[in-house]
Structure 1
């Protein structure tokens, strides 16, 4: 497996700033919080609760797929659209793919040959440009996107600000001082 140079640089810069490893900490902390997050998701009612239960039902023995479901579930729980974070492109020509990517401000893309196939590519888009590609899965791409935001001191996208706040302050435990009401409520429910 070749590690993209930018991925190495993101990990190194994050560790320089925070003294903690980005990739391994993100994945291990996400795994640590998964059971409690799923319990919190199950207690949600209404339309949002149905979406969360559907998402939770997709958590399987495949750890990468499970992590992706938890990340998307986190978006739903915080009233943010997971499609703003992860865009799937299925059976799409390269020309159409790049046209669609140009419209993306920031996010993760997943390219699949068919709806049920494994991804042929997972990457990060910033300002309509593929910044990082050939990532193994959505969880790793989420870690790298968070690391980019943090290392470059970029503002989180408005449509995903609560998701990234929870990733930063609750999951990663970085600069975890003041929390928004949504993040504080989730943190309280996770520790009940």
Structure 2
């Protein structure tokens, strides 16, 4: 991993060979993220996050995530618009997001961003420590102090409400450390965070539990044996109508 030209085939072979050892260490010893990354630095590679998720679940994370999310997007946007037409803080938050969405050219990345960004608002969740903006013109490094996990949006102009749609790139921070940088889209960063939670055996962000549970159970179809909370069950039923 220290080489500038990495032998990705060899790295994949070694990560596959050491999978059982790595899972035993991570699950049983519960080391810090810093210790995990010093021991298994290949987990900072996007390809190895996807590969590790497949080793754990036998599911292709990227394919499953985008296939199911894209299938649900039309219905999700319709549900958001229906809720946005009502009164209350949740409806107002959804209206603001959808107004910004309507100003964009609705390609697939914009639709995915809107579906994921509005999901937390619809589920009455919000975490300013998870969604962070880093203006590279104002500071050399993002403020990730006391950050369990964050999706960092990098901009080079004045921050605006349209940041999720118009950043220069996205990064991922876990336990005060920058893990991955220069991720091209919001949905790619969100997918990688979900995969990292499995690879690192980490709990979901506490203020976004419903959001990540929805991704886990409804989008990814991963059942942990627990029943869905009423709010999540209601959204799932609305999607299947």
TM class by shorter chain equals 0.7 to 0.9
Change (3 A) 1:182 1:84: farther
Change (3 A) 1:84 1:71: farther
TM-score in terms of structure 1 length: 0.87
Structure 2, gaps ≥5 residues long:
1-7, 9-41
Once the two structures are superposed, the pairs formed by residues 158-177 of structure 1 within 5 Å of their partners are 158-175=206-223, 177=225
C-alpha distance in 2, partners of 1:91/1:124? 15
**Worse-matched range after superposition: 119-128 or 108-117:** 108-117
- 2:233 paired residue among 166, 184, 187: 184
User: How large is the RMSD of aligned CA atoms in angstroms?
Assistant: 2.4
Number of residue pairs matched? 189
- Show the counterpart of 1:63: 108
- 1:112 paired residue among 155, 160, 165: 155
C-alpha distance in 1, partners of 2:49/2:70? 21
Change (3 A) 1:176 1:182: farther
Structure having the higher Rg: 2
**Worse-matched range after superposition: 142-151 or 19-28:** 19-28
TM-score in terms of structure 2 length: 0.70
C-alpha distance in 2, partners of 1:55/1:119? 16
Q: Does 1:149 align with 2:197?
A: yes
C-alpha distance in 2, partners of 1:90/1:63? 26
**Helix, strand or coil for the counterpart of 1:11?**
helix
Change (3 A) 1:142 1:160: same
C-alpha distance in 1, partners of 2:80/2:53? 30
